[in-house]
Structure 1
């Protein structure tokens, strides 16, 4: 009797991301992932739950690719590095990246990225009650810009970089103003 393949959450998410990158999110099914791993779909349930767990895992993977900036760097540098990381992730995974606009971060690993943004805003002096709102606004902008860029909306990379740099300049003025209002 042949040995059963060993699988774990990491292997399942690796294969899920490969399928989504190659064939799009609609190709991600429990059966497709199980077939690639040489197991039955039931073998996946212990590690990821169901298809929603696979999708949550993809969000985790995409956010997990983000740099974890040095906490000693300025809040501007922390946010810049995170935004640049999201833009790079969008370029690497254009078929999957839109998932970050459609699904909330749900796993502890995925939530770690948001916590880093919250820390940067706290470092900027934003009042605690404003941080979630500003994070949603900023994240929606960065994710939308990165998805548009990866989807081919911007044909001139230098112009896209200049537009993004301008947005960062605006934020560098706006965030301290918000912090000073309280």
Structure 2
């Protein structure tokens, strides 16, 4: 792809990202983008084949921003840097980031993001046959946590934990009532994310130790 066409494609994806953040993914259409950049809808097909193709390119744009910058040689720090970068991207693009959980990553940017994770797991000593599964476990935690934060799943909503429990017979939800004192505390999401990452690093270390 020539430089001019690549620059135009980057502009198209940038407009799509802005429209998604302003109005949600439902606001992203080829017609709206064509209007924004002064092309006819038919001319836009010279850059993106369909809305699905455009959404794939949005995924690629998000992934390109996840890549950690020079996190150092230690495999733990490399995994942590990638995880923290992904969470930061989620907060930067809260209405678009959920695409990473709902669409397959089919463009080369996905390979470029996942490869350092594979390399970190290999450097940790994880057996080769276990690397893909551990990468999926790691990525699913990171993406799931980040999407839950920005989409509102972790929000309190109209009722707090105590009010929600009060609406259910304690005999039907005994664990909730046993944990009431814990559930009613404010959650430090930064600390919980970091704790989850530490647990995952322990899983990686155990996988490497089992190999030895």
TM-score (norm 2): 0.77
Coordinate RMSD, CA, aligned = 2.0
Aligned to 2:28: 28
- Determine helix, strand or coil for the equivalent of 1:47: coil
- Offset of residue 71 of structure 1: 6.6
| Structure 2 match to 1:110 | 110
- For residues 46 and 110 of structure 1, do their structure 2 counterparts lie closer, same or farther at Cα, with a shift above 3 Å needed? farther
Greater Cα offset, 90-99 or 152-161: 152-161
| Mapped pair 1:83 → 2:83 | yes
Taking the TM superposition and a 5 Å limit, the aligned residue runs for 1:58-97 are 58-70=58-70, 72-97=72-97
The equivalent of 2:172 in structure 1 is none
Is 2:192 aligned against 1:163?
A: yes
Cα distance in 2, alignment partners of residues 142 and 154 from structure 1: 18
Superposed displacement of residue 34, structure 1: 0.9
Structure 1 position 48, deviation (Å):
2.1
Runs of 4+ in 1 over 3 A off after TM superposition: 154-158
- 1:111 is displaced (CA, Å) by 2.2
* 2-structure distance, mates of 1:53, 1:90: 21
Contact 1:154–1:160 (CA under 8 A) maintained in structure 2: no
Could you tell me how far 1:70 is from its partner in structure 2?
A: 2.6
Q: Give 1:154 shift.
A: 5.3
Corresponding pairs, count: 177
Is the partner of 1:130 in helix, strand or coil? helix
